[in-house]
Amino acid sequence: MATDIKDAVHAVDAAAVMRLLPARPRLLALGEPTHGEDTLLDLRNELFRQLVEQEGYRTIAIESDCLMGLAVDDYVTSGTGTLDEVMEHGFSHGWGASAANRELVRWMRAYNEDRPASDRLRFAGFDGPLEITAAASPRQALTALHGYLSRVDTDLLPCTAETLDHLLGADDRWTDPAAMMDPSQSVGQSADAGRLRLLADDLVALLDAQTPHLITTTSRADLDRARLYGRTATGLLRYHHWMADTSPARMTRLCALRDLMMSHNLLALTDRGPTLVHAQSSHLQRQKSSMRMWQGRVEWWSAGALVSTRLGKEYAFVATALGTIHHQGVDAPPPDTVEGLLYELPDDRYVVDARELTTALGGTLPALRVSPWFGYAPFDPTHLGDSDGIVFVKDVPQS
């Protein structure tokens, strides 16, 4: 069996990943099983460089706030701001403190220097303005969309900027972290929030209806950004509405709505050309995702599952599997798991052909590894048939 498994593994580079796929996908998703490890982000960076230089990829999208990411995109495309500023203000979830993320942004800016706009690299966050404990106020997205639409006949606008400001009220009533655990603390089903949902819908409809005018009076980039504001405003208001829900399905809805927002952002990025997407595997896999939360197990369809149904073979998913994370108490994997089988091979990292590995296993399904640390999700062997490949990293040292 060991010889057969060796036949399924290859050196880690973009060419090896692309050989797993029937054609160059519009979205190539690289999933990670844990966050915050620069070893994995350095590997992502190197694969992105190779995809840029060898396969014509021009965009990278990561699991970070889609609105904050606009500052990073402005910096890498046109030099707006400074590297320190965009690392501080352009990332959510604390990702800006990562040395590997800093190197990615620095390299993208250097690559774009003196290149024509049509050939520049682009950056995107594709997560909503959400954290696991709270969601942002819809103010930024709503007011930016309304401001963009000031270019049309003002009689067509469903409200004034002053009306929006009044209905939004203080931002801290939207961002109160107590609302995640106590639905009664959420303003998402208040009369003002209900009115804002209708106005946001009307603003998005006006944006769509006025596209022929707007594309000639602004630019494609400005229109695309306005569409992002519209998606974010409606998505946030929907998310806040269900934060105020008291039914048993509350957390299932919230998890599903977050990934739905992610999927809309990813589908919009396909207009830019081939894109590398990097996030936790649970957001990118084709099968249902799950998480154990305070009220029990929650299951939902991930952004990857949603996008895959739209793009078919133009969506590809490659998971990352790990051997050890000693500094988090994750030691050598049991030999009967996917990670254990790969850990016994001599080299430090591989690209694994999931189909060939399945064949080598001869119908024997490996055991599911159990993680002693909540921050690491082992590879689920039942996902072998739905993964286009695996990147295996034997040991992850402390960043």
pLDDT in tens, 30-40: 999 999 999 99
One domain, residues 203 and 297: no
Q: Is residue 1 part of a domain?
A: no
Residue 70's pLDDT is: 98
**Could you give the count of Cα atoms lying within 13 Å of 19 in the half-sphere of its Cβ?**
13
Residues contacting residue 136 through CB under 8 Å, at least 6 positions apart: 65, 67, 129, 130, 174, 175, 236
Owning domain of residue 143 = 136-250
Q: Is residue 392 part of a domain?
A: yes
Whether 47 contacts 17, CB under 8 Å: yes
End-to-end, the C-alpha distance of the chain in Å comes to: 35
In the numeric block, the tokens 């998703």 are attached to 29
Q: Of 250, 272, 297, which one is at a domain's C-terminal end?
A: 250
Q: Where are the alpha helices (DSSP H) in 270-328?
A: 303-311
One domain, residues 208 and 192: yes
Residue 291's pLDDT is: 85
Residue 62's pLDDT is: 98
The mean pLDDT of 355-361, rounded to a whole number, is 93
One domain, residues 244 and 270: no
Burial class (CB in 10 A: 0-12, 13-18, 19+), 154: exposed
Q: How far is 75 from 168, CA to CA, in rounded Å? A: 30
Residue 399's pLDDT is: 81
Identify the band that residue 189 occupies on the pLDDT scale cut at 50, 70 and 90. very high
Q: Is residue 258 part of a domain?
A: no
The mean pLDDT of 165-184, rounded to a whole number, is 96
> What is the residue-averaged pLDDT of the chain?
96
Confidence check: pLDDT of 341 > 50: yes
Residue 204 token pair: 């998005």
Confidence check: pLDDT of 3 > 60: no
The mean pLDDT of 173-197, rounded to a whole number, is 96
Residue 1's pLDDT is: 39
Into how many domains does the chain fold? 2
Q: How many CB atoms lie within 10 A of CB 7?
A: 12
One domain, residues 283 and 215: no
Q: Is residue 256 part of a domain?
A: no
Residues contacting residue 154 through CB under 8 Å, at least 6 positions apart: none
One domain, residues 274 and 243: no
Confidence check: pLDDT of 295 > 50: yes
Q: Is residue 257 part of a domain?
A: no
Q: Where are the alpha helices (DSSP H) in 244-315?
A: 250-269, 303-311
Q: Of 216, 250, 284, which one is at a domain's C-terminal end?
A: 250
Which amino acid, residue 117? A
Identify the band that residue 191 occupies on the pLDDT scale cut at 50, 70 and 90. very high
Q: Of 204, 227, 250, which one is at a domain's C-terminal end?
A: 250
**CATH for 50:** 3.40.50.11550
Confidence check: pLDDT of 259 > 80: yes
Q: How far is 140 from 147, CA to CA, in rounded Å? A: 10
Render pLDDT for 39-90 as a digit per residue (tens, 0 to 9). Answer: 999 999 999 999 999 999 999 999 999 999 999 999 999 999 999 999 999 9
Specify the higher pLDDT residue, 344 or 363. 344
Render pLDDT for 91-143 as a digit per residue (tens, 0 to 9). Answer: 999 999 999 999 999 999 999 999 999 999 999 999 999 977 789 999 999 99
One domain, residues 307 and 290: yes
Q: Could you tell me which residues are beta bridge partners of residue 393?
A: 322, 349
Q: What percent of the chain has pLDDT over 90?
A: 95
- CA angle (374, 291, 325) in 5-degree steps: 25
Give the residue among 150, 172, 169 at the shortest CA–CA distance from 159. 150
One domain, residues 242 and 327: no
Residue 293 token pair: 């939360």
b/e burial code for range 244-277 (CB count within 10 A of at least 16 → b): bbeeeebbbbbbbbbbbbbbbbbbbbbeeebbbb
Whether 243 contacts 186, CB under 8 Å: yes
One domain, residues 200 and 307: no
Residue 133's pLDDT is: 79
Residue 179 token pair: 């609302």
CA distances from 206 to 197, 209, 216, 217 (A): 14, 5, 16, 15
Q: Is residue 82 part of a domain?
A: yes
Helix pair 191-209, 220-243: axis angle to 10 deg: 160
One domain, residues 145 and 60: no
One domain, residues 97 and 110: yes
Q: Is residue 124 part of a domain?
A: yes
DSSP code string of 163-175: HHHHHH--THHHH
One domain, residues 391 and 281: yes
One domain, residues 114 and 146: no
Q: Is residue 385 part of a domain?
A: yes
Confidence check: pLDDT of 322 > 70: yes
